Structure 1
Amino acid sequence: MSNPSKSNSTLAPLCTSISSGRITSILVLAGAGLSTSAGIPDFRTPETGLYAKLAPLNLPYPEALFHISYFRHTPEPFYAFARARHPKNLRPTVAHAFLALLERKGKLKFVVTQNIDGLEVDAGVSVDRVLNAHGSWRGQRCLKCKVPFDAGRFRDAVGKGEVPICGVEGCGGAVKPDIVMFGERLPKEFDDVVENVLPEADMVLVMGTSLKVAPCSTLPRKVGGDVPRVLVNNEVVGDFGTRERDVCVIGSCDDGVREMARELGWEEELDEVWREAVERKERAVQAEGWDEENEPSLDECIARAAEKMKARNGVSDGHRRMLEGHLGEKMASILGRMNL
């Protein structure tokens, strides 16, 4: 069994297999750790993780920020997060660029990402090789009537830290980006990956994930024992280290891919792909008209949202609208019975 704390003894022969063409079909499972150096905190790290930063909002539980049942009546905390961490504020990382380089080299089979930032595509990975298992920010629609919402109006609302509200007459529902929240079903394409893509993979690369959220967490266990599995993560997770061909590269995703790039002789190409990706994203942000001057930090956005909710005794605008709607229906029913 390979020692999870010692990666370099097994990484070299694995990279030789990639360089020589014995490995040509790599399936990647990416988690939050892929984007931490872009400015998105991971979820569970004490004190610095996203869930720790949410304390001022007094959520019933940290995951409520991304739970559909909570979003339905209190979307303000989510949009406090969104203002500071919308993908327009983010640039692809070295780790994202490594995925694009794998594709350029003809080694990438597919990417399943648990992230919603879309930075894999920003880095240069083909759209048809990426499954955003938890959705993405590339579209938005009303949660109530399901009508798509204008991208420009959505951008303006997010930039102001406001909840975008549906403009369809008589609706007034909160708008939600096309991400998959807790309590919602994953896209059917996930099953297609399990049935059709996974069996063709000759290596699985798992990056920056705790492997605690099903069903994505089950993917590494579904490949055969003869398929090498590589973990690039700050700690050993899941059942990594239990198979003879497992390789564990312990550290950040950026450091891990640089170690792999050195073994592969790809360092200069990796930096070039990364530079191109960052420049391309900056041009796109400018073309879309995002104003990045004096953007508040995540902590500032959370503090402002907490202050607003405190001033309303914890009742959000969305919850208030919902209550008013129920009261209006009840009043109409009473007046109807009275023939008024």
Structure 2
Amino acid sequence: MKKVTFCESVIDNSHKSCKDYKPRDKTSSKDNPTTDEQKDKKNHEWIQGYLRLAFGLSDPESLRVLDEVSVEGVARYIKDNKCKNIITMAGAGISTSAGVPDYRSQDGGLYDKEKEQHYTIDHFNDNPDIFYKWLKKLFPENLKPTLCHYFIRLLHEKGLLLRHYTQNIDALDQLAGLPREQLAEFYGSITTSYCMECNQVYSQDWLKEKILTGAEPECLEENCKGIVKPDILFHGEQFPPWLEELSSEDFCICDLLIILGASVKEQPFRNLSSKVWVNVPRLYINLEPPDPPSANMMMALMFGHTFDFDSEERYRDVFKQATCDDGCRQLADLIGWGEELDELFTQNGGCSDPKEIGDDISSQKQNGIKSSEESQEPQKKEEKRSKPKSSAKKTNSQTTTKTATRTKTITPSKKHSVKKPSE
């Protein structure tokens, strides 16, 4: 079998798509529940914690682990080595300064509610051109990761990143050097594509060349002219089941949650933000704050679907109103990592001068990935992905119930879905 190196993986025709690709467990610690009995106990303790707080049986001050409920307090919490299992949750806001359109925006959003009928798997099967016109926006010239992406990588290099949960499909986190096993991609990514007829797998560079030249991404295998589809989820497809298990195990040992450029009013992040323990600090960096709390504050607290940034009783939630680049720049400076972040960013060719981060975002270049030499033949892949040890809990994922439908010609043994991070 012909093998090629691809994204630090070797891949073949037995392609496992995003729904079968689960991250390796980094969390083999004594705090991580392994048996069903231990998991049930952890779940009960988690529920009790939120209920006690909701009914006024817990003093919020007694739950506080930050010396100050502010960005400065979060920075000291990290700097003083009081956390070791940081989870980052990222949305479209971390990639907009690189030139990637917000996938929920009305002018270019794949997951915009008003246009979702155009981006269902059935509509893709019938008319893939609409999707590929949108996808072309993900391939601006010289697309590069942002300062925020490199801040997340720095957390990894410091040994503090438990997992990076992302709604983005642009794969800029991988381009920034974040290992695949550290990623949980809810919607998959454009790093790989596959033929919906014969399952032949194609590289990102191959697809990029087709998209930018206006050529139809059609399978090149002999006697097959199937549609080539990026390994991502469309409207109407369910999130992979392994994400529920993974998030359950990750979030129960998380000791700092950082939310970056993401909406927390919709699934999957709405429930994820409440999966951490009731005393775990949550830093939210975004241009806009989340929606105000539910009118039924008790129910909101019980299920964790709210943040408290302003009340006198706030004890863990911190909101930084800024671009993700600016917020991460400030946090890195406060921790004492500013120079390291600049060096990491410039050495790897970030999307702008790090010293300019903080200027008006509209003045920044909207650059994006330099094309490498593209092969005219598809790059076959054989991913060395062993079964991951999970580290997760039930993520109340997407509200849609339709299963991930593929084309009729795909056999059950080669069913595709969102990749699990490998071991």
Q: Which residue of 2 aligns with 1:255?
A: 326
**Are 2:308 and 1:241 aligned?**
yes
Q: Which residue of 1 aligns with 2:233?
A: 180
1:39-118 superposed matches below 5 A: 39-44=99-104, 49=105, 51-53=106-108, 61-86=114-139, 89-118=142-171
For 1:35, which of 83, 92, 95 is the aligned residue? 95
Higher-helix-fraction structure: 1
- Alpha-carbon distance, 1:24 to partner: 1.4
For 2:70, which of 2, 6, 10 is the aligned residue? 10
Amino acid at match of 2:348: A
Structure 1 counterpart SS, 2:259: strand
Structure 2 counterpart SS, 1:249: strand
RMSD: 3.0
What is the number of equivalent residue pairs in this alignment?
275
Structure 2 counterpart SS, 1:255: helix
Q: Could you say if the C-alpha distance between residues 61 and 172 of structure 1 is closer, same or farther in structure 2, counting changes exceeding 3 Å?
A: farther
- Alpha-carbon distance, 1:275 to partner: 1.2
> What stretches of structure 2 of length at least 5 have no aligned partner?
1-59, 62-67, 291-304, 352-366, 376-406, 408-423
- Alpha-carbon distance, 1:60 to partner: 10
Q: Could you say if the C-alpha distance between residues 174 and 17 of structure 1 is closer, same or farther in structure 2, counting changes exceeding 3 Å?
A: same
Amino acid at match of 1:39: G
> What stretches of structure 1 of length at least 5 have no aligned partner?
3-7, 291-321, 323-340
- Alpha-carbon distance, 1:233 to partner: 0.8
1:115-154 superposed matches below 5 A: 115-149=168-202, 153-154=206-207
TM-score, normalising length from structure 2? 0.59
Q: Could you say if the C-alpha distance between residues 60 and 43 of structure 1 is closer, same or farther in structure 2, counting changes exceeding 3 Å?
A: closer
What's the CA shift string for 1:161-203, capped at 9, x where partnerless?
2331234566533211111122112233312322221111101
CA contact (8 A) 2:146 2:350 kept: no
Structure 2 counterpart SS, 1:221: coil
What's the CA shift string for 1:76-116, capped at 9, x where partnerless?
12111222313874100010010011112222111011101
Q: Which residue of 1 aligns with 2:213?
A: 160
TM-score, normalising length from structure 1? 0.72
Amino acid at match of 1:18: I
Amino acid at match of 1:146: N
**Are 2:216 and 1:216 aligned?**
no
**Are 2:339 and 1:268 aligned?**
yes
Structure 1 counterpart SS, 2:235: coil
What's the CA shift string for 1:130-185, capped at 9, x where partnerless?
11111011211123443324666534321212331234566533211111122112
- Alpha-carbon distance, 1:269 to partner: 1.1
